[in-house]
A and B are shown apart, each in its own frame.
Chain A
């Protein structure tokens, strides 16, 4: 019984394309896009930062939430594997946001961490995905693990709006260091294009990594099934 997912042996085309796309964005960012006047070269970090944030929240997390709801409804193991993969890849992207954010912040504001609303929300998102991974690690039975994870995924999806709102309200009530707005509507078109290209490239990267991770999960479960059969 060969599975379509596991029998593919050739090079991972999607991953290759995604990496090429990211590289292309960087070439474009360094060679063809003007440097933002006030922020200097460090502004280029934002191409990674904003794109990763976009991917982490809107792709990874939303996918996690949807897969969780669908799993509880349809009870299909594949959906659990999608959720699992989405969480793990999402965690990577969220970590990237949390690393590039302070790097940019230190260069621009002179402070590593300023409890900026978006960065703080991302920090909490990071904690949430981390606790999701810990839950998965703590439950051994597959069916139970899938169910518990799905419940947590849905509750986390309900939590995120509350976190965003609370953090935003907290920030607007507390004075902050004067911020230079990172991306204003008055962006030159080349920058906007680069941002757009960066989003696409990172989305592709997410899809490629997700698919790889999904395959690993499928193989792992297949191996566990075989072991149980022979046991």
Chain B
């Protein structure tokens, strides 16, 4: 297993949860993701910021195995996403869209996800995930009857039901109330503690930096900044970020 040394990160004995090296994706001649390299160990949480159109969503879709890279490589748990479907099973994705079937109940949606990942106790796993996101009491309600915030919670439950080693979250706090946000933070912290790596895309600096062990800013497909949380000075970060966002707007 190749050991990757990326700016600032120490070489460690355990293999990284995710390794991206020179990852690129081209859409009709335009580089949406341009040579992105980083790696995350178990327990890391990367908070990824960036203006709209910077390529954050594309990067997440590449890491989730929903898009094939135009160049570079991406390893999850040591296995390349290109080599076959198995590597995808270690990734969980929370995105803008709920990825749910509105006609089915919350429980059915999460159980379906569990079955598609081949969990032997899909029913139990679904129950645990729904309980973690504090929606177990609404498990039998059809998703279309749930509020946006509750749908978001079910969507997160769907993403964590198979206990993924890499959890990718694209602005997951959108639409969540206090209870939902607290449940999400707790679930993310639990995943981190159990040895998963997180990648959190958000516009909310304080929420993002709260859980983060690393912070990065993506701009025009490239990682413009990447550093350990400890080195990040929140106030200067914020102003620099704001400047970048307004420049690109």
Q: Residues on A close to B: CB < 8 A?
A: 142-143, 225, 228-229
A228 to B30, CA, bound (A): 9
Q: What secondary structure prevails in chain B residues at the interface with A?
A: loop
Instruction: Decide if B235 is an interface residue (CB 8 Å cutoff).
Output: no
Instruction: Decide if B28 is an interface residue (CB 8 Å cutoff).
Output: yes
User: B29 — which chain A residues lie within 8 A by C-beta?
Assistant: 225, 228-229
Q: How far is the CB of B241 from chain A (nearest CB, A)?
A: 26
Q: How far is the CB of B28 from chain A (nearest CB, A)?
A: 6
Please encode chain B, from 35 to 66, with 1 for each CB lying within 8 Å of some chain A CB and 0 for all others: 00000000000000000000000000000000
Q: Residues on B close to A: CB < 8 A?
A: 28-30
User: A229 — which chain B residues lie within 8 A by C-beta?
Assistant: 29
Q: What secondary structure prevails in chain A residues at the interface with B?
A: helix
User: B28 — which chain A residues lie within 8 A by C-beta?
Assistant: 142-143, 225, 228
Smallest Cβ-Cβ distance to B30: which chain A residue: A228
User: A142 — which chain B residues lie within 8 A by C-beta?
Assistant: 28
A228 to B29, CA, bound (A): 9
8 cross-chain CB contacts under 8 A: A142-B28, A143-B28, A225-B28, A225-B29, A228-B28, A228-B29, A228-B30, A229-B29
Give 6 new A-B contacts, CB below 8 A, not counting A225-B28, A229-B29: A142-B28, A143-B28, A225-B29, A228-B28, A228-B29, A228-B30
User: A225 — which chain B residues lie within 8 A by C-beta?
Assistant: 28-29
A177 to B14, CA, bound (A): 82
CB-based closest 4 A-B pairs: A225-B29, A142-B28, A228-B28, A143-B28
User: B30 — which chain A residues lie within 8 A by C-beta?
Assistant: 228
A142 to B28, CA, bound (A): 8
A229 to B28, CA, bound (A): 10
User: A228 — which chain B residues lie within 8 A by C-beta?
Assistant: 28-30
A143 to B28, CA, bound (A): 8
Q: How far is the CB of A147 from chain B (nearest CB, A)?
A: 13
